[in-house]
Amino acid sequence: MTQLEKAQKVQLKSLLGKFKQLQKQLDNIHKKSGYEDLGQGVLTLQIAQHTVEETLEHTWVERFNVSPIPKHTARRSSGRRS
């Protein structure tokens, strides 16, 4: 993957904010109307947001030659001691 230029990163970060805003707006309309296709639109925006987040994360990882910590490996305290 090629490195993103600074201007491209700024554009992608701006899109993240727009995706989140559109998701909220569309989800509110979906909840009020119950129209299922709008729920599909919310999911589509979530996928687009994830795609941009992954692009930014992998570009940063490649640029600084570090390994990301996978989100699914984060441990949560169960409150019990062993």
Write down the pLDDT at residue 82.
Answer: 43
In this prediction the pTM is 0.66
Write down the pLDDT at residue 70.
Answer: 58
Write down the pLDDT at residue 79.
Answer: 53
| Distance from C-alpha of 10 to C-alpha of 19, rounded to nearest angstrom | 14
10-residue averages of pLDDT along the chain (82 residues): 74 93 96 95 96 86 57 52 46
Write down the pLDDT at residue 72.
Answer: 59
Write down the pLDDT at residue 1.
Answer: 44
Contact by Cβ (8 Å): 49, 16: yes
- Could you tell me the CA-to-CA distances from 42 to 21, 23, 33 in Å, in that order? 11, 5, 14
Write down the pLDDT at residue 44.
Answer: 96
Domain residue limits, the chain: 13-64
